[in-house]
Amino acid sequence: MTARLPNYVLTTFAIVVVIIIIGLFDRQRQEVAEGNVGLVIGVPGNQLMSQSNGVIALPVVLRLVNRSDEDETLEAENTCKIFRFVVTTPENEFIQAKRFADNCPTQTAYGQIAADEAIEEIEVVPLDADRFVPGDYKLRVKFWNYDGEAEFSLLADN
């Protein structure tokens, strides 16, 4: 009758569902004060340590919110530096960071966020499975030079 879907299709579907739920939840929260521009980060609170080719895919919803009355110009040194991350333990011990490609362009990247608007982007942080064990972690993100932080837990995949 029907063939069983491959595990990578099921995993991808599960990640998309989690990202949509996080995005909808974060959309309702107002963590950026009126008159400011700020970054809101959404990650699954509990992430299974399921891996593919030694990588644990951690979905991250980035929401850059402009609650001011003026448009905000965004600038990054290059396109490789628009999104950066560092993962640490709760005690701030370094575990992993984003590595930049050797072929990053040298041109400055520009963007814009209109007044009272938000930019949403979904990224997948590829966690090196060899560096992680089940437990709690912090994800620090820089997106268009705005900082944000989120906590998450990795759970053993039984």
**91: number of CA atoms within 13 Å, CB side?**
2
User: For residue 76, which phi and psi values (nearest 5 degrees)?
Assistant: -135, 150
Taking residues 129-137, what's their average pLDDT? Answer: 96
- d(C-alpha 95, C-alpha 128), whole Å: 9
Q: Decide if pLDDT at 1 tops 50.
A: no
pLDDT tens profile 63-103: 999 999 999 999 999 988 999 999 999 999 999 999 777 78
Q: Is 27 left (phi over 0), alpha (psi -120 to 50) or beta?
A: alpha
Q: Decide if pLDDT at 157 tops 90.
A: no
The dihedral over CA atoms of 36, 72, 25, 49, expressed in degrees to the nearest 10, equals -110
Q: Which domain holds residue 23?
A: 7-155
State the pTM of this model: 0.77
Whether residue 83 lies inside any domain: the answer is: yes
Whether residue 75 lies inside any domain: the answer is: yes
Whether residue 2 lies inside any domain: the answer is: no
Whether residue 59 lies inside any domain: the answer is: yes
3-state secondary structure of 9: helix
The per-residue pLDDT for 6 is 73
With contact defined as beta carbons under 8 Å apart, do 122 and 60 qualify? yes
Whether residue 51 lies inside any domain: the answer is: yes
Taking residues 110-132, what's their average pLDDT? Answer: 94
The per-residue pLDDT for 5 is 66
Average pLDDT of every residue of the chain: 86
| Residues 43-74: b if buried by 16+ CB within 10 A, e if exposed | bbeebeebbeeeebebbbbbbbbbbbeeebeb
Whether residue 102 lies inside any domain: the answer is: yes
3 vs 93: which has the higher pLDDT: 93
The per-residue pLDDT for 92 is 96
Cα angle 126, 127, 133; round to 5:
160
CATH code (residue 147): 2.60.40.2360
Whether residue 1 lies inside any domain: the answer is: no
Count how many residues are written for the chain: 158
Whether residue 99 lies inside any domain: the answer is: yes
pLDDT tens profile 52-68: 899 999 999 999 999 99
pLDDT tens profile 5-39: 677 777 777 777 776 666 655 554 557 766 789 99
Q: Decide if pLDDT at 112 tops 80.
A: yes
Q: 137: how many CB neighbours lie within 10 A of its CB?
A: 20
What domain count does the chain have? 1
